[in-house]
Structure formats: C-alpha cells, structure tokens
Amino acid sequence: MTGQRIGYRRVSSVDQNAARQLEGVPVGKVFEDKVSGKNLARPQLQAALEFCREGDTLVVHSMDRLARNLTDLRKLVSDLTARGVAVEFMKEHLTFTGEDSPMANLLLSMLGAVAEFERALILERQREGIAIAKAEGKYRGGQFKLSGDRAAELRKRATAGENKAGLAREFCISRQSLYSYLKAEPTT
C-alpha cells in the first residue's frame, strides 16, 4: 500500500483516554470516537471511512476498538478492502488487504467473536448490577447531562421540526435521551 496511514481510536465514554491506542504508531491523520462500539453509528468512524481512499491503510489498535460484534467487523474489513483500503490491527499484528489467507480470515472471525462475547458479558454484568441496586433502592436510572440552556435549545429546535436523529447526534445524546428531554418539564 502506498497511500496514507489513517488512525482510528475509540473509547466507550468521554472520561476515558484513547491516547495510548496508537501511541508511537506513525499515522498521518487520526479519527477518534468516545462512544460505544455496539454499532457503526459513530461520527468519527464514518468520517474515517469517508476519508479513506484506495491505497490507504486504516490503522486500529485492536479489533474490538473497530467493532464489538462480528458482523460489523467483517463488514467493515470487507468493505474497506474491496475499495483497496488495507486494515491493520496493531495488537493482533494482522493486516487485511482483500488478498487474505484462510488463516487470517479465521483469526478475524475468532477474535471478532471474542470481542462480541466480551460485550455480551459486560452487558450481562451491568444488568445484574442494576438489578441489585434496584433491589437495594439505590438505582435512580440515567441522569440528564445537558445544561438547562442546552436542553431548552434542544426542545425549541425539535419543536420547530428539526430532524430528531440529527439533533441527537449534534447534542451527543441518544434518540431515547432526546425524547426524555422532550417529555421532561423545563427547569427555570
């Protein structure tokens, strides 16, 4: 490959630091998301995919940083290599070019399945912890994270008819949270 080396980093929440993921790895441009890897609806991932051109290499710390389920991982690698973009995983020491060996494809499937399994375990532990906290009367559910001014702006724009999915992306909240803000009484 003779094009650019483009980095992609991902952590699951805004308070986590992704700097270690490509530390010391030569890349020309880095895209970074601070959201769950449960699906492909990640703004910086989409920007990285659009930025990649034939001959480029997308460099990712590990497979689970790119996708947390096998279907998405295989789709991303397949789509990128079909466009002539190599995908390099630093931790696993694997690079996919579209001319991959059966062993490389087996490793992609096995390690992708492990990432998917890890996510399922995380969700199971989370559900168990919430059930225990609810039983003890300690669970209060998610808290609103937008300030009063931002929440008011969100309500105003949604009421004016702006696209709700677009607003959710812009305000960095889920669509479910957006609807919660719309139902909540404004605080003054």
CATH of the domain at 85: 3.40.50.1390
Long-range contacts of 114-120 (CB under 8 A, 24+ apart): 114/64, 115/63, 115/64, 115/67, 115/68, 115/69, 115/70, 115/73, 116/68, 116/69, 116/70, 118/64, 118/68, 119/37, 119/38, 119/68, 119/69
Task: Give domain status of residue 54, yes or no.
Answer: yes
CB-CB contact of 80 with 52 (8 Å): yes
pLDDT of residue 113: 92
Is residue 185 over pLDDT 80? no
12 is catalytic: yes
Is residue 186 over pLDDT 80? no
Assess whether 37 and 94 both reside in one domain.
yes
Mean pLDDT confidence for 34-60: 93
Long-range contacts of 172-180 (CB under 8 A, 24+ apart): 173/145, 173/146, 177/142, 177/144, 177/145, 178/154, 180/144
Is residue 142 over pLDDT 70? no
Smallest Cα–Cα separation from 68: which of 105, 112, 32?
112
Q: What is the mean pLDDT of the chain?
A: 88
CB-CB contact of 46 with 16 (8 Å): no
Smallest Cα–Cα separation from 77: which of 57, 91, 92, 93?
57
Mean pLDDT confidence for 163-188: 81
Is residue 93 over pLDDT 70? yes
Smallest Cα–Cα separation from 38: which of 174, 132, 144?
174
Given 111, 128, 160, the domain boundary residue is: 111
Q: Who wins on pLDDT, 18 or 124?
A: 124
Task: Give domain status of residue 124, yes or no.
Answer: no
Task: Give domain status of residue 138, yes or no.
Answer: no
pTM for this predicted structure? 0.68
Helix, coil or strand: residue 46: helix
Given 12, 62, 174, 180, the catalytic residue: 12
Q: For the segment 99-111, what is each residue's pLDDT rounded down to a tens digit? A: 888 988 899 999 8
Q: Who wins on pLDDT, 38 or 52?
A: 52
Mean pLDDT confidence for 54-58: 96
